[in-house]
Amino acid sequence: MTDERPEGIHILIADDQALIRVGFRMVLEAEPDLIVVGEAGDGREAANLARTLRPDVVLMDVRMPVLDGIAATAQIVHEVPDTRVLVLTTFDLDEYAFGALEAGASGFLLKDAQRAELTAAVRAVHRGDIPLSPRITRLLLERLAEQPTPTAVDDPTGTLTDRERDVFLAMGRGLTNTEIAQQLFLSESTVKTHVGRVLAKLGARDRVHAVILAHRLRLVGDGDPLPPLL
The 10s digit of each residue's pLDDT in 51-102 is 999 999 999 998 888 999 999 999 999 999 899 999 988 876 667 778 888 8
Could you tell me the CATH number of the domain that includes residue 177?
Answer: 1.10.10.10
First-residue to last-residue Cα distance in the chain: 53
For helices 177-184 and 188-202, give the axis angle rounded to 10 degrees. Answer: 110
Residue 177: left (phi > 0), alpha (psi -120 to 50), or beta? Answer: alpha
Tell me, yes or no, whether 43 and 83 share the same domain: yes
Contacts of 132 (CB under 8 A, 6+ apart): 107, 108, 140, 208
226, part of any domain: no
Q: Is 68 inside a domain boundary?
A: yes
Domain that holds residue 28: 9-131
Task: Yes or no: say if 169 and 220 are a contact pair by the CB < 8 Å rule.
Answer: yes
The string of pLDDT tens digits covering residues 5-21 is 788 999 999 999 999 99
Asked whether residue 22 falls in the same domain as residue 68, the answer is yes
Convert the pLDDT of each residue in 113-135 to its tens digit: 889 989 998 998 888 776 566 56
Indicate the pTM of the whole model: 0.77
Number of structural domains the chain divides into: 2
Sign of the alpha-carbon torsion through 177, 180, 185, 186: negative
Question: What pLDDT does residue 90 have?
Answer: 80
- Residue 131 amino acid letter: P
What pLDDT sits at residue 150? Answer: 57
The predicted model gives 200-211 an average pLDDT of 84
Listed as own residue / partner, the contacts of 198-202 with beta carbons closer than 8 Å and 24 or more positions apart are 198/160, 198/164, 198/167, 198/168, 198/171, 199/128, 201/156, 201/159, 201/160, 201/164, 202/156, 202/157, 202/160, 202/168
